[in-house]
Structure 1
Amino acid sequence: MDHDWLTLADLARETGRDQRELERLTLRGRIPAHKRGTEWQYHTSEIRGWIEQELRGFTDAELASFEQSQSESVPLADTLLSTYLSEEQVQVPLEGRTKRSVLEGLVEAAGKTWKVWEPAVLLQAVIERESLMSTAFEKGVAIPHPRQPLPSSLEDAVIAFGRTNSPIPFGAPDNSGTDLFFLVASRDTRTHLRILARLGRVIQKPGLLDDLRNAADAREVFGILSAADTAFEAG
């Protein structure tokens, strides 16, 4: 999904969904699309945003299916979270009482791997994405990320995790506070979307968010996420 435009067939292949279903959703205005002659065309940046919103409502089974659709043509790391997240990228507690200060702390944590070549570019990209629409979910979780891949600013995809001592306003749909943050930055769209799907499954796992909140330190947080990651792959 790294060229500018997709056909209906491309979209079906990229999302792992039936082409006829996607055409019906397009005709109903549910998918951002452009009519070029007699064919529908889909701009990659608009589709990426649409997919991100769609993933929020997916069940675990649907997220797992979507993950698989993103790995068929380009092999990806088996243990997603453990590949792109390390203990040193976990910040507990994450200092910050405002959205910007939390994002600054997350980018700093991500930069500990040396995979982030341009921290200022990453921070600005994440801030700009948040200005369009908050990445906060219900349940006190947010997944900040840039709107577009950053191939020139990253050596590889990177995840950082932070937990604030108390929830802060972050734009959650139910107006609740947010205290658990996953920063995601990727060089390509496919990896980005698969990581989002995996994190969506983590958020839905019974008891896992409570475990993250009760974890004593970064090592325990990383162990919890690694165990969940391995269990998903084994399943």
Structure 2
Amino acid sequence: MEDFDLAQLAQYLHITPDKVEKMALRGTIPGRKVSGQWRFNEADIHHWLEDRIGATESEDLGQMQKVVDRVTGRQTDQQPIHQLCTVDTIEIPLSARTRGSVIRNMCEVATRSGLMWDAPAMAEAVKARENMHPTALDCGVALLHPRRPQTSILSDTVVALGVTHSPIPFSDTGHSTDIFFLICSYDDSVHLRTLSTLSRLIASDNLLTQLRAAGSAAEAWECMHAAEEALETV
């Protein structure tokens, strides 16, 4: 990936160069100076956006969605979550009691789609991402994903969902996790849009309660579908 200069990043984020420079000076956006000029690595900016999506409060997620739409380009043919995450890629209950077994089992579930075919390779990539920065949220949900799209083992984007019987320690924050999404995106733009939509879904009323009460993959999928349809009307 290439670096952005100040003007290029401002155009990419649809904000002014002055605002980008102020953010860089404050350390709120990753950048470095080379020969007195600001440079911003595209991968670092992608991960900065990714972290902002995960840290955004529920009432601000709609605004964050607008940022993602501007950055990635609004895609009218973007597949909804209920098409990326099918009954085949949902496991209820997910049989796992440790962080490592969650990651391995979720990757195995994703292979049922036929769109991802090397579960061990994906598991290693997800584990490396988790070691860098855990994706578990305080609400008991983890949004698992590799640091970079694993295009060598994917033919298209797939999302898997698993719900454990009991919450397990999954991050270093002290919170336990029992709902796990695995996002295996084919490119960065799709990843950001999928992550943003999932973040809005899990912040919506009752969905997490419904997923925890779901007795089957089909029931969980119906809950996801209904929540996504409700989100589209907002």
| Same fold flag (TM > 0.5) | yes
Q: Does 1:212 align with 2:200?
A: no
| 1:195 aligned residue | 194
Check 1:230–1:8 CA distance in 2 against 1; reply closer, same or farther (3 A cut): farther
- Aligned residue in 2 for 1:222: 221
**Identical pairs, percent:** 32
TM-aligned CA deviation for residue 90 of structure 1? 0.4
Residue 188 of structure 1: CA displacement? 1.0
Match of 2:168 in 1: 168
CA contact (8 A) 1:138 1:172 kept: no
Query: What amino acid sits opposite 1:111 in the alignment?
Result: T
Moved more, 213-222 or 91-100: 213-222
Q: Confirm whether residue 124 of structure 1 aligns to residue 124 of structure 2.
A: yes
- Output the CA distance in 2 between the equivalents of 1:53 and 1:12: 19
Q: Distance in 1 between matches of 2:10 and 2:158?
A: 27
Amino acid at match of 2:175: S
What is aligned with 1:39? 37
Contact kept? 1:79, 1:233, Cα under 8 Å: no
Q: Which amino acid aligns with 1:119?
A: A
Corresponding residue pairs, total = 231
What root-mean-square deviation, in Å, do the aligned CA atoms of Structure 1 and Structure 2 show?
1.9
1:25-76 deviation digits (Å, cap 9, x = unpaired): 1111111112233432211222222112211232122232134224426x36
Structure 2 distance, partners of 1:76, 1:70, is: 15
- 3-state DSSP of counterpart to 2:165: strand
Pick closer, same or farther for the CA change 1:95–1:113 going to 2, 3 Å.
same
| CA distance, structure 2, for counterparts of residue 18 and residue 90 of structure 1 | 43
Separation of aligned partners in 1, 2:7 and 2:232: 29
More displaced 10-residue stretch of structure 1: 134-143 or 60-69: 60-69
**Ranges in structure 2 where 5+ consecutive residues have no aligned partner:** none
In 2: Cα distance, 1:224 partner to 1:20 partner? 44
1:22 aligned residue (8, 20, 23): 20
Alpha carbons 2:162, 2:179 under 8 Å: kept: yes
User: Bigger shift: 192-201 or 45-54?
Assistant: 45-54
| Equivalent residue letter for 1:148 | R
1:16–1:202 Cα change, 3 Å = farther
Deviation at 1:17, TM superposition (A): 4.2
Matched, 1:147 2:138: no
Q: Deviations over 1:67-113 (max 9, x none)?
A: 4224426x364443123111110000000000111111110110001
Which stretches in structure 1 are left out of the alignment for 5+ residues? none
1:7 aligns with 2:5: yes
Change (3 A) 1:19 1:92: farther
The answer to whether the Cα contact below 8 Å between 1:67 and 1:198 also exists between their aligned partners in 2 is: no
Contact 1:78 1:233 in 2 (8 A): no
Q: Is the deviation greater in 4-13 or in 56-65? A: 4-13
Aligned equivalents of 2:204, 2:134: Cα separation in 1: 22
| Alignment deviations for residues 161-217 of structure 1 (CA, whole Å, 9 cap, x no partner) | 0000000000063x1210000001112111111111111101211221111111121
